Amino acid sequence: MPREPILSAADHQQDDPSPSTTASSASREEDTALRPKRMEDMVGQREVYERIKIAVDAARIRKEPLGHVLLDGPPGLGKTTFAMCIPTALEVPLQIASGAALAAPKDLLPYLSNAEEGSILFIDEIHRLPKTVEEFMYPAMEDFRIDITLGEGVSARTVNMALRPFTLIGATTRTGLLSAPLRDRFQIREHLEFYDNPDLTEIVRRNAAKLQIEIDDESALKIACCSRGTPRVANNRLRWVRDYATSRADGKITLEVANRALTMLAVDIRGLDGQDRKYLETILRVFNGGPVGVEAVAHTLNTATDTLTDEVEPFLLRAELVVRTPRGRKLTAAGYEHLGVPPPDDLGQTTFFDELDPDDETT
């Protein structure tokens, strides 16, 4: 039988939780209930699944630790799900940490010293590791040892501590922020892609059954088409439609119910929400369709620039509703069409280099 995972301290609740803590705990429990427990049960990402499955099977046959794994891709595509399913397939313990919480090498010591033979250490948001922690991990990943400095000044001495061989799984949404030495220490590197509508429809169907709500195929497809190619968004949309069906309908999700629920949520047919449309409308109304710098758009919307570059723009760029140019963001013909406005006659007069933004660090 698979070993029970060793969870991080943040996963343990207080003995007397507050109402907000109870609500967040219930939400996490529901997220866990929707997440597949085995890689075989995952929908989509089949090429990534096949490659990881081969590596896992080989490690089990050889009875060796799995090579270190780096999973990258936009949020909500299944990086954590893979990281949770791999230990189950290997029947080994799992420890979970966050890169943002590992502020110093001493914060990493308990995880490394507690790692059992062949166990998994999963570090989410690994790109947020400080440089000192990252360098501390190099010998741990390569030679399964760490160097601990005891004392200070002339009396300081370094103690070499051997570790039991383990596997590090890192998840990141921004691979470019990882240093080359750290990236090179991962034997398995996989990039997760956005999902197509058939896969998302199947995810919605399965999770509707887990949530004990009846849904028809048309409604599942409708929710999938409005989910921006992301299972996490699909699950959030499904939960909202379920709540709407429970409150305003007979507890069943039909196409009419799904349409009404998504309309109330201000989600349109392409999956854009109110913030997405405000972004497009601001570029159109205030800046005449662009080009305009993202900082100017952020100030106009009274929103942080990071919110636009990390949350809003990735999907709009992928949907080809906006483009980045050396002079800033600019609406495309599809963007004008989505806003119901005819594009200007000179919109197409751009060169290949106009579509690039070489000075933009987020490109």
pLDDT tens, 12-68? 334 444 444 444 444 455 566 788 888 888 998 999 999 999 999 999 999 999 999
pLDDT above 70 as % of the chain = 84
Given a contact cutoff of 8 angstroms between Cβ atoms, the answer to whether 118 and 60 are in contact is: no
CA gap 191, 322 in Å, rounded: 24
Round to whole Å and give the CA distance between 79 and 70: 9
Mean pLDDT, rounded, for 271-283: 90
Q: Is 217 a catalytic residue?
A: no
For residue 321, which phi and psi values (nearest 5 degrees)?
A: -90, -25
Residue-level pLDDT at 344:
84
332 is catalytic: no
**What is the mean pLDDT of the segment spanning 309-325?**
88
Is 232 known to be catalytic?
A: yes
Q: Is residue 120 within a helix (H) or strand (E), and if so which, with residue range?
A: strand 120-124
Phi, then psi, of 158 in degrees rounded to 5: -105, 130
Longest Cα separation, the chain? 76
Average pLDDT estimate for 225-233: 92
List the catalytic residue out of 80, 172, 201, 230: 80
**Burial class for 4, CB neighbours closer than 10 Å (0-12, 13-18, 19+):** exposed
| pLDDT the model gives residue 165 | 92
Gyration radius of the chain over CA positions:
24
Supply 289's token pair.
């369709």
The residue from 31, 53, 60, 173 that is catalytic is 173
pLDDT greater at residue 176 or residue 349: 176
Reported as a single tens digit per residue, the pLDDT across 150-200 is 666 666 667 778 889 999 999 998 888 888 999 999 999 999 999 999 999
3-state secondary structure at position 249: coil
Catalytic residue among 222, 232, 324, 329: 232
Q: In sequence order, which residues have a C-beta less than 8 Å from that of residue 302 and are 6 or more positions away?
A: none
**Percentage of residues of the chain with pLDDT beyond 90:** 50
Which of 149-163, 196-210, 268-282 is predicted least confidently? 149-163
Q: Output DSSP code: residue 156.
A: -
Q: Is 325 a catalytic residue?
A: no
3-state SS, residue 304: coil
Is 79 known to be catalytic? Answer: yes
- Choosing from 79, 185, 228, 329, the catalytic residue is 79
Active-site residue identified among 124, 199, 276, 357: 124
Burial zone of 197 (CB within 10 Å; 0-12 exposed, 13-18 middle, 19+ buried): middle
Confidence of residue 349 (pLDDT cuts 50, 70, 90): low
Query: Which of 155-159, 241-245, 258-262, 330-334 has the least mean pLDDT?
Result: 155-159
**CATH numbers and ranges of domains, the chain:** 9-191 (3.40.50.300), 197-264 (1.10.8.60), 274-355 (1.10.10.10)
Among 190, 174, 255, which residue's Cα sits nearest to residue 42?
A: 190
d(CA 195, CA 203): 10
Give pLDDT, residue 231.
93
- The answer to whether 76 and 231 have CB atoms below 8 angstroms apart is yes
Average pLDDT over residues 60-83: 92
The pLDDT tens digits for 142-151 are 989 887 776 6
SS3 310: helix
Tens digits of residue pLDDT in 94-144: 999 999 999 988 899 899 988 899 999 999 999 999 999 998 889 899 989
Burial (0-12, 13-18, 19+ Cβ within 10 Å), 124: buried
pLDDT at 72: 92
Backbone angles phi, psi at 229, to 5 degrees: 70, 20
- How high is the pLDDT of residue 307? 86
Token couple for 197: 């509508």
Main-chain dihedrals φ then ψ at residue 164, nearest 5 degrees = -75, 135
d(CA 292, CA 298): 11
